[in-house]
Amino acid sequence: MAQTETLITVVRLPSAKDLPLPSYETDGAAGLDLLAALDPGSDITIEPGARAMVPTGLKMAIPVGFEVQVRPRSGLAVKHGVSVLNAPGTIDSDYRGEVKVILINHGTAPFVVRRGDRIAQMVVASVVRVLWEEAGSLTETTRGAGGFGSTGGAVAPSRASA
């Protein structure tokens, strides 16, 4: 299946002038890494339980009908307990300011963000706009109004013989 491409115009701010633009690390990657555009020597230390806004030095013109989702990097999460606080963060098509990432340290040790560190990933996604149709009732389903945990617990192990 062929991949589709969407053109996004980007402005690189002076703080990111020597940093590479976000890129896909592999052919099958859905996300592009966002880098910290900190001034040299002005690291940010995020203490356990604290959060920080980290600039990327990028502004984007996201086409109408798309959004950019800012998501955690799995390596930061598993190795350091660092995540994106409002994951996924949404950048709307009409936003023109600098992209910044809110990182939170769920780990047990301080985490230092340095210039050029890969801090998050961005995924470009299509947006579907809805129209509301108000009604007095909804169609029935097997699940009905069953909420959290209503579809069961653990899946039974397979009984197939080897």
Residues 150, 152, 157, CA angle at the centre, nearest 5°? 170
The domain ranges of the chain are 9-126
The string of pLDDT tens digits covering residues 18-49 is: 999 999 999 999 999 999 999 988 999 999 99
Distance CA 98, CA 57 (A): 6
CATH number of 9-126: 2.70.40.10
Task: Flag whether pLDDT at 161 surpasses 60.
Answer: no
CB-count burial class (<10 Å; 0-12, 13-18, 19+) for 156? exposed
- In this prediction, residue 3 has a pLDDT band, given cuts at 50, 70 and 90, of confident
Least confident of 25-34, 50-59, 110-119, 142-151: 142-151
pLDDT over 70 percentage in the chain: 92
The burial of 121, by beta-carbon neighbours within 10 Å (0-12 exposed, 13-18 middle, 19 or more buried), is given as buried
